[in-house]
Amino acid sequence: MNRLNFLKQISSLFGISIITTYTLESCNSNELDEDQNVLTEDEIIYNDLKNKTTENGKYLDGRILYVDITHDNFSSLNTVGEFVNDYDNYILILRKSDDLFQTFSNCCPHLGTFNQWSYSNGSFRCSNHGNRYGTANGAISNCGSGRTSGNLKQYVTTINQDILIVDFEG
């Protein structure tokens, strides 16, 4: 993600006033890194997110979830084809390829089971009744709708260095 897109995303998350605050703080205090270089706005925001995800690897701010994929709680995401079922936020986070992370509702479209998922060959399988659901866009099968096929509901997921940004509005 380039700098402009990142700032746009952050500004939509926190509101322009927060960006302004960050800007003013960076101008006023000239936050420095360990080599005494003045931090950029991007670096200040990134460092703030790293601090907020230190405890358990994630930080929920309204409808935006930040996940530090270097945290032990999300170490599965270091491997392509692995996923994390985050019960707190009702989501499955999948590392689909080296560069692509996807986030889905963990609610089975069939009867709503959330904790019996496995992943292989591009789809999730719920072992409660053995139905499989895809990871593509469109043809969404919603939580507990009784459907036995289709794709899981997906949330827009981007990455800034090693922090995933999941937009529950997306």
Residue 55: strand, helix, or coil: coil
Decide: is 91 part of the binding site for ligand FES (CB under 6 A).
Answer: no
110 contacts ligand FES (rule: CB under 6 A): yes
Cα–Cα distance list, 147 to 72, 109, 113, 135, 140 (Å): 35, 6, 13, 15, 10
Residues 111, 118 contacting (CB under 8 angstroms):
no
Binding to ligand FES (CB under 6 A) within 10-49 occurs at: none
Q: Which lies closer to ligand FES via its Cβ, residue 29 or residue 127?
A: 127
Q: Is 123 among the residues that bind ligand FES (CB under 6 A)?
A: no
Of 16-24, 25-33, 44-52, 126-134: span binding ligand FES (CB under 6 A): 126-134
Stretch that binds ligand FES, among 40-48, 61-69, 86-94, 110-118 (CB under 6 A): 110-118
128 binds ligand FES (CB under 6 A): yes
d(CA 127, CA 130): 5
- Pair 116, 126: CB distance under 8 Å: yes
Which residue lies nearer to ligand FES by CB, 50 or 125?
125
According to DSSP, the β-strands at 64-68 and 163-167 are antiparallel
Residues that bind ligand FES (CB under 6 A): 108, 110-111, 113, 126, 128-129, 131
